[in-house]
Structure 1
Amino acid sequence: MRVNEQIKDVVRPAFRISIMALNAILLARRAGDAARGFGVLSGELRRFAGELSQNMEALRQLTATSVIAVTALVKDGRYLAIIDRVGQPDGAIGEQVEQVRLRQQRANERRLGELKQMRSALAQLVGDLRPLVQLGIVLARLARVEAAYGGAFAQSLTQVSAEFSRTIEQIEAALVGLTKATEGARG
């Protein structure tokens, strides 16, 4: 499914940020007081990556549930088509077939409603990720500013902050793809 691939396109860079942030925290400790702000921002970026990963897991689970619901809906549609092809027998069997058909139609209507809710929740979750990614962008920019105060480690810290920025840009691009994949899901 296309959404699952786009989720992976967010999860991979989020994992990278988490590892980079851990390394950046250690580098900031080595740099001492001059890089204390950079270390704090690296910790925040690590928390950002963790929160992003949690949201992606929720999105993945919701997507999987949606796929299961669609599969059940298709299966039930095929079942109804078979009943319609068989036709309406006479007598008690005909009444039973009609009862089964009506139950199946009600189940389909219920599933369609559930699926609409899931699609709406999916679109909402993706929409709610935008402010989180914007926070990551701000943190990466602040890390770049703080890197300049890193003394002898300023160049290394600047390289790390640039990598933070590039990685978050990848996440932002993947989020645009997720948004496109889920647009119209609210309706």
Structure 2
Amino acid sequence: MTTALATTGDKTPPAGADLLRIVGINEEIKAVVTVAFKINIMALNAIFLAKRAGAAARGFGVLSNELRVFSQDLRDCMAALNGLIYGCVGEVSRMLQDIRQTRLLRQAAEMSPGAQLGAVLAARQVKNDRHAESLTRQRKQLKRVLDDAFRLVELGGVLAKSAKIEAAYGQSFAVPLAQVSGEFDGIVEEIRTSLESLRRSPFFTGK
């Protein structure tokens, strides 16, 4: 009997490659969370600086607060991604276990041609198909949340660039405000680059 599981042979199964890709995605998510936390600290410092600057930096203060909110929203989004990643890891791990067990059954069938293992192999194929369907659903959900995160970061980029404009009106505080807004812009761009890299992962593209 020929099944998707029974023909894996000694080659590395696709599920094994997916597991490595998921681990890479998870590491990238952790890096984004770390950077998002830095934005929160920077925003708090920027708000304090804007208060010192007074009315001239009121707009900058508002934008800094929005960047702080953006930081929290981004961390929440990354937490959702992290939860989905763990779900994918569990599904892939179960698929790999099924593949290993089916390989052993196939070998047993080859050694004992008279053994009635066809029904068992067929049942395992059905089980694996269910795992594959579940992983496909989780993969699509993960991609949707990742796209949401990317749109959120684009909004963060707009806020950071607006803060740079507002910094110019900070009078005697214009220089330090410009420095802070420049750091905002750089960090948001760093996050955007990371998310772009995640969206190009073979786990989503299938390449």
* Count of residues in Structure 1 that have an aligned counterpart in Structure 2: 182
Q: For 1:81 and 1:179, how far apart are their aligned partners in 2? A: 33
Identity among equivalent pairs (%): 42
CA distance in 1, matches of 2:71, 2:25: 19
Structure 2: distance between partners of 1:127 and 1:142: 23
Q: Deviations over 1:43-100 (max 9, x none)?
A: 100111111111111111111211111111010111112122222686xx84xx5554
For 1:176 and 1:101, locate their aligned partners in 2 and report how far apart those are by CA, in whole Å.
Answer: 41
Residue 52 of structure 2 is aligned to residue 52 of structure 1: no
CA distance in 1, matches of 2:187, 2:34: 10
Structure 2: distance between partners of 1:69 and 1:38: 46
Scaled by the length of structure 2, the TM-score of the pair is: 0.81
Aligned mate of 1:171, from 182, 185, 191: 191
Match of 1:124 in 2: 144
Higher helix share: 1
Residue 44 (structure 2) pairs with residue 22 (structure 1): yes
What residue number does 2:20 align with?
none
Give secondary structure in 1 for the equivalent of 2:129.
Answer: helix
Distance 2:54 2:123 in 1: 70
| Match status 1:61 vs 2:83 | yes
- Cα deviations by residue, 1:99-121 (Å, 9 ceiling, x for unpaired): 54333222111111001111111
Which residue does 1:6 correspond to in 2? Answer: 28
Q: Aligned residue for 1:146?
A: 166
Report if the CA contact (8 A) 2:139-2:204 is conserved.
no
User: Which blocks of at least 5 consecutive residues in structure 1 are unaligned?
Assistant: none
Tell me whether 1:156 sits opposite 2:176 in the alignment: yes
Higher relative contact order (CA 8 A, sep 6+): 1
Q: Provide structure 2 residue ranges, at least 5 long, that are not aligned to the other structure.
A: 1-22
Q: Secondary structure at the match of 1:183?
A: helix
Instruction: Let me know the Cα RMSD of the aligned residues.
Output: 1.9
**Deviation, structure 1 residue 151:** 2.2
Report the residue type matching 2:204 in the other structure.
Answer: E
CA–CA separation in structure 2 for the residues paired with 1:49 and 1:100? 51
Indicate which of 59, 83, 90 corresponds to 1:37. 59
SS of 2:169's partner is: coil
Q: Is the partner of 2:147 in helix, strand or coil?
A: helix
CA separation of 1:183 and 1:72: change in aligned 2, threshold 3 A: closer
Give the corresponding residue for 1:183: 204
Deviates most, 136-145 or 102-111: 102-111
| Preserved CA contact (<8 Å) 2:66 2:159 | yes
Q: Secondary structure at the match of 1:149?
A: coil
State how far apart, in whole Å, the 2-side matches of 1:160 and 1:14 are: 15
Distance in 2, matches of 1:127 and 1:147, equals 30
Shift in Å at residue 4 of structure 1?
1.4
Q: 170-179 vs 5-14, which deviates more?
A: 5-14
